[in-house]
Every structure is written in structure tokens, then in C-alpha cells.
Amino acid sequence: MKRIISAVLVAWTLCVSLASAQDLAGSPIQTLLQEHRALIEKASRKTIQPAIDALGESGLPQAQVVLEKWQDKELWQRESDGLFFFAEKVDSTTWRLIDIDTGAPVGEVDKGEIDQLKPNSGVRSLIGATLVQFQLLDPDPAKRIEALDAIQRDPEESHLAALAGSIEKEPDPEIRTRKERLVRLLTISWSESEEDRIAAIESFKGDLGVDTRAALNPLVATIREVAEGEIPQGVNLAARLRPGSEALPAAEAYALLVGNGLAPERIDADARLAALQQNIVEGRVGGVPLAQLDTEEARDRAYAALAEAGVVPPTALQADVDAALAAHVFYDRYAEPNAVITEAANETLSSINTQVGLNQALDLGLDALSLASIYFLAAIGLAVTFGVMGVINMAHGEFIMMGAYTGYVVQQLIPDYTISILVALPMAFAVTFAAGVALERLVIRWLYNRPLETLLATFGISIALQQLAKNIFGTQARPLTSPGWLDGALVLNDVVSISYIRIAIFVLALIFLFLFLFIMNRTRIGLEVRAVTQNPRMAASMGINPDRINMLTFGLGSGIAGIAGVAIGLYAKVTSELGADYIVQSFMTVVVGGVGNIWGTLLGATMIGFLQKGIEWLNPSNTLAAQTYMIIFIIIFIQFRPRGIIALKGRAAGD
């Protein structure tokens, strides 16, 4: 009875196993794999593509997972029936099989009963190319963008069809536009249709994208070659070269012959001279007297004799070199064999280069405008004091430095960078305003109408203030950190960009321009300042106190310098020498623009900013030269316009 029951149980187990195997074999994904079983078992890059394409085009939801597992070497095959599974290791000898259709465990087997599929790198590459189509249609936009980024970093010919096929099903307009652009880029390199390639190339005329130039440049890349007699037929010729010209020096041309096995190698002049010196025998070399070795021909003859005797290795003589060069033709050919394609690529690149040049000019203009706004902020305070009071304040740069250090101290007390900057601006104005008033009351007021003594006194004070800053803050540069919303840059395209900090400084310069104009034209203090500027004696007779106006004006100019210091410190290193870096440009700005005139200062700053950037563009490797040339230009300019662009009438003009 027991034997009968055992037999029944075994039979029932076998039936269940067979039914389970039949169920697994009947799933659509398993059926598809079984149809291509022979190709999968002997996976080869040359033969596997039909199996991969069948999975990719099947439309089955499990196809992507199967391809991913196969690529990662996590697809297994059971030896008994050839069915495919995923597998998990249970212990050293046992593995759990997982149904590729449902993802459910279907039993445990000994490791010897299953085989791991291990596709080589070539097969994995083909699988990866097919997986792209799934990633490009993933419901998650982030994954679709990630797939586009991957294609853009490392494009392949196989990506073109998958990318083109995903466009119609793309719901996001921005991602769709990017896909269309990538399709055109891949079409340039890998489309089999000449018309499609030309259309794609021409569609990028004037495009400033770096990826566009990366796709077009290989089409116009050239290979230098040499041929005997005539250039071979069918070559996409870029240029015919003449040996000895600037494009192809004779030595380079002969080296090309040697490299192609068309001429014997020639030793260089130093090696030949050393060989001749080592073989001097009784005043002769190779039978040629030393006294006659003063020409190339004689040295060649002597070396040829030594080579014939086997003393030195043979080399080509100059006559041989000339003959070899004359017998061959040198040329550059395009790597792209299709001349129509290279012509279209050259035309598109020409239009792109034109746009790049225009945008580089715009970028240079924005840089110059940014530099001009910095110089304007640094010089506006000096324009006030110099124009109204006629005082040459060499310590003006140190007020800029004091403002920057004030901003640094405020940031140590207020860690929120946005709030600290908003607090630092009025604080810097207050500190430097007080310092300017103190300087005017203690020193400047006793030196009016004595410009040389004023210059020496303020120069000495500037040195003292620098040393005081070193004693307090040390010689190490201190950070003045900008708020997070000023990080980064405004990018207009791949050529033109400007940092947000510079934009903020430009806006700050405009604010101070309009604020200064308002104070000077719409307030009583501005009226009094203008009166003292035009005629201090007449202003005094009208009840205006010139002494008080001078004090407030000097304090105002110093306070503005302090605010400029905070702005400059956001992108420049804050050290005790910060102000010294801007004092020369500040004086040049004021003198060129016209002493005491705010519009002149604005024009002067603009002129100097554009001039400096222009010189730096012409000579980018030497910024010191730009400073030198700029000073020379200013000296020449002053000879023809001694009162600046906008001349001021009044005390500052020498009336």
C-alpha cells in the first residue's frame, strides 16, 4: 500500500512539474526567446541582431527587463528544457529560478542544472542600443532626459532609428524639440541618404551650439597624403600642397615620404656633422679635405663616401631629397569622401563662424560694459570730491577697501548672505562717510589750494590705512560671499554669458547714477554743491557755507566709495591692496570723462572699460600690456582734450 501511495505522489509531482513547464513555455516572452534560442545560446555580434530586434520590436512589457538582465549577465537557461529564467543565489550550490514573465519564484535547482548567459562586449553594446528606445519612451520625463544626455555624450549609429521613432510618441514639447535636434545631428553623421544629410547640415546654419560644430567638424577634417605623379581619381580634394611653402615645409614633406616608405630616411644636420667629425683621418673626411667642407654639397659628398665604405649608415643626399619631392604630389583630402557633403558642411560652418564672431563681439561688449560699471562705481566718489573740491585724494582707493572689509565684518555677524549684503551696503556707506568727514576735518581742510601737499598727505594716509588693515585683518584674502541667488551666470547661448554678480553691479551702478542725479538736481544740498562747484565765492555771498559743503561732499564721495567696495568685494579678493588696484583707473576715468561731471565720469568709465577689454582681446596673453597701452592712450587723449570728454566750468576747470 505504501509503495502505491509513493508512486502516486511521484506521478502527481511529475505532472505538476510538466504542467508548470508548459505554462512557462507558453508565455509570450518565453515563446519569443525560444524562437531565437539558437542565436541566443551562441551569441555573436555578427548573428545576434535578429534576436535583439525581435525583443525590441515585440511590444511586450517584459522585453525591457529581459534585455537589461541579459546585458547585465543575469539571464539563465535551464539545461533540461532550454527555458530562460532570472535567478537568485540561495547558497553555494542552489539557485532560485524566477519566471521572466511574472517575476514569481518557480523553484530551486542545483547550479549545475542551469547555464548563465554571458554576452560579450559587442553583444552588450547591441543590447544597449536597443534599450535606448525603451528609455526614450519611459513614462518618467527625467529618465527620457537622462537617455538623451547619454546619447549626446556618446552618440552611436544605432541611436538614430530609435531616436527618430520616439519623436511621434513624445508628449513633452521641450523634450520633443531636443529629440528632433539630436536626430538632425545624428543624421549628419550616419544617415544613408545624401539628401537627408545635406538637409540636416543646412538646417544648422548660424547655429551656435557646440554640439553642432562637433558634428560638422569631422566632415571637413583633412588627411595629408602623398602620391606619385598625380592625385588619385575619386579623392575628395581639400587642397593641393607645394613642398617648401608655408603650408608644407620641405622637411615635413620629405618626412611624409619617409613615413609612407616612398623615400629613404635622412639623418639631420647635427647627426651628420657628428659623424663627419668622428671620421676625420689625416685631415680628410671620406677623402674630402677639411678645408673644402664649407658647403652642403661637399659635406654630402664626404658623408656619401663614408656610407659607401660602410662606416656610417646611408642617408639621402640633398639632391635625392629634391628629386623625391619633385617626383611626388602632396595634398590634403577630406576624411568625408562625398564632396557634396563637405561643401555643405563648409558653408554651414562658415555661417556658424560668422555668428560666433558676432556673438563673441557681443560677449566682449558685455564684459566691457561690466568692467565699465565697476570703474564707474569706483570713480563716482572721486568725481564728486575732485570735481567739487579740487582735492587729489590718493586715499580714495582705501575707502573702497574699507567698504569691502565692512561687508566682510557684517557677514561674520550675519550669516545670511542676502541679509548681510543688504545691511553691509548702508553700513559701508556710514563707515566710509565718517572716515571721509574725519579726513577732511583733520587734514584736507588745512591744505586747500595746495594740491602737491594734498597729494602727498593723502598718499601717506593711504599707506597708513593699508598697514592698519593688515594689522587688523592680516595679509590673507578675506571672502565676501555673494548670496545664492547671485551664483551662476545668465547664459544667452553657448558663446554669450554674463555672471549674475556683474549684472548686479551694473544695476547698482545705474541706481547710483540716478540717485546722484536726483540729489544734485532735485535737493537743496545738490543745489548748494553745484553752486560751490561753479563759483564758491558767489555761493558764500548767497549764504551757503562752502566749508560745510566741502565736508559733506568729501564724506559723500567717500561713502559712495565704501559702497563700491562692497560691490567689488563680491567678485574680487578682499585684501589691504584692494583699493590700490582701482585708484589709477578711477583717476583716469575722472580725468578722461571731465572733472566733476557725472555724465563725463560715466562716459569715461565706458570708454576705459571698452578700451581695456579691446586691448586684452587683441593681446590676451599679456594683461599688463593692456594696462600700459591704455595709459599711453589716455596720455595721448589728454593732449587733445585736456578737460576731458565733457569739460566742466568752474573751480575744478581752473576758472
CATH of residue 467: 1.10.3470
Q: Is residue 165 located within the same domain as residue 100?
A: no
Q: How many CB atoms lie within 10 A of CB 104?
A: 8
* Residue 70, in any domain of the structure: yes
pLDDT at 202: 92
Q: What is the pLDDT of residues 546-601, one digit of tens each?
A: 888 888 888 888 898 899 899 888 878 888 888 887 888 888 888 888 766 788 88
pLDDT at 647: 63
- Phi first, then psi: what are they for 630, rounded to 5°? -65, -45
Q: Is residue 430 located within the same domain as residue 302?
A: no
User: Strand pairing partners for 240?
Assistant: 331
d(CA 586, CA 326): 64
In 3-state terms, what secondary structure has residue 333? Answer: strand
Q: Is residue 539 located within the same domain as residue 454?
A: yes
* Residue 85, in any domain of the structure: yes
Ordered alpha helix ranges (H), 450-490: 451-473
Q: Is residue 60 located within the same domain as residue 198?
A: no
Out of 123, 157, 173, a domain closes at 123
Angle between helix axes 546-569 and 417-442 (nearest 10 degrees) is 150
* Residue 195, in any domain of the structure: yes
Q: How many CB atoms lie within 10 A of CB 444?
A: 22
Q: Which residues contact 527 (CB under 8 A, 6 or more apart)?
A: none
Residue among 105, 97, 55, 103 nearest 79 (CA): 97
Length in residues, the chain: 655
- Per the structure, how many domains does the chain have? 4
Residue among 540, 389, 537 nearest 451 (CA): 389
pLDDT at 620: 66
Q: Is residue 172 located within the same domain as residue 86?
A: no
Cα 399 to the center of its chain, rounded Å: 36
| Residue matched to cell numbers 548686479 | 504
- Phi first, then psi: what are they for 323, rounded to 5°? -65, -40
Out of 220, 254, 289, a domain closes at 220
* Residue 84, in any domain of the structure: yes
Q: Is residue 142 located within the same domain as residue 205?
A: yes
Per the CB < 8 A criterion, the answer to whether 94 and 110 are in contact is: yes
pLDDT at 648: 55
pLDDT at 163: 86
> What is residue 457's DSSP assignment?
H
* Residue 241, in any domain of the structure: no
pLDDT at 6: 47
Per the CB < 8 A criterion, the answer to whether 165 and 57 are in contact is: no
In 3-state terms, what secondary structure has residue 76? Answer: strand
Out of 202, 220, 238, a domain closes at 220
* Residue 350, in any domain of the structure: no
- Structural domain of 93: 22-123
Q: Is residue 303 located within the same domain as residue 395?
A: no
* Residue 336, in any domain of the structure: no
Element (H or E) spanning 637, and its range? helix 623-640
Q: Is residue 567 located within the same domain as residue 453?
A: yes
Task: For residue 115, give Cα distances in angstroms to 62, 90, 109.
Answer: 21, 16, 11
* Residue 182, in any domain of the structure: yes
Q: Is residue 179 located within the same domain as residue 210?
A: yes
Q: Is residue 498 located within the same domain as residue 588?
A: yes
Low-confidence stretches of the chain (pLDDT < 70) are 1-26, 387-389, 595-596, 620-625, 647-655
Q: Is residue 178 located within the same domain as residue 272?
A: no
Q: Is residue 572 located within the same domain as residue 617?
A: yes
